Amino acid sequence: MRLITLAITFLVLTLPGLAQARDTSVLFPIKEAMNTDAAKEQLSKDIKFYFGKKRVKYSRSIGTYTANRKTNAFNKSDEEACEWVFLSALLALQDRAIAGGGNAIINIHSYYKKEAMHSAEKYECHAGAVMAGVALRGTVVKR
């Protein structure tokens, strides 16, 4: 009986700590994520990606889109999970560009929980024990 009481007490005291999810905002280099083998293999050479507020000449704006992606981060480093989900968000923007007849995505920036973070060098990722997420926003254009 005493063993059962101890076990129940242990569970009651430890489960709330386990239930709290980690949600750490981390910044990673765009260049490194774009140079992974997966990115080189999956991103189209016909679509150009421009990060930050860099001015780019274009003939027609097709629309501004947001890609909010999540991935399983269990048993992965934050960097590994974040690079994977960053690529997933870029692929979603790329699909929008192709579907709309665009050939570039400009003004790409992090847009996690609708908070814009413009940078030409870094992207924002929210990493947890189980999930990692990246939200990117960009404007599809025809150059």
Give phi and psi for 52, each to the nearest 5: 80, -160
Q: What tens digit of pLDDT does each residue of 72-112 get? A: 999 899 999 999 999 999 999 999 999 999 999 999 999 99
**For residue 139, what are the contacts with CB-CB under 8 A and spacing of at least 6?**
61, 62, 63, 64, 65, 105, 106, 107
Among candidates 45, 55, 70, which has minimal Cα distance to 106?
Answer: 55
Q: Which CATH class is domain 21-142?
A: alpha beta
- Boundaries of every domain in the chain: 21-142
When pLDDT is cut at 50, 70 and 90, the band that residue 18 belongs to is: very low
Q: What tens digit of pLDDT does each residue of 113-140 get? A: 899 999 999 999 999 989 999 999 999 9
What pLDDT is recorded for position 2? 66
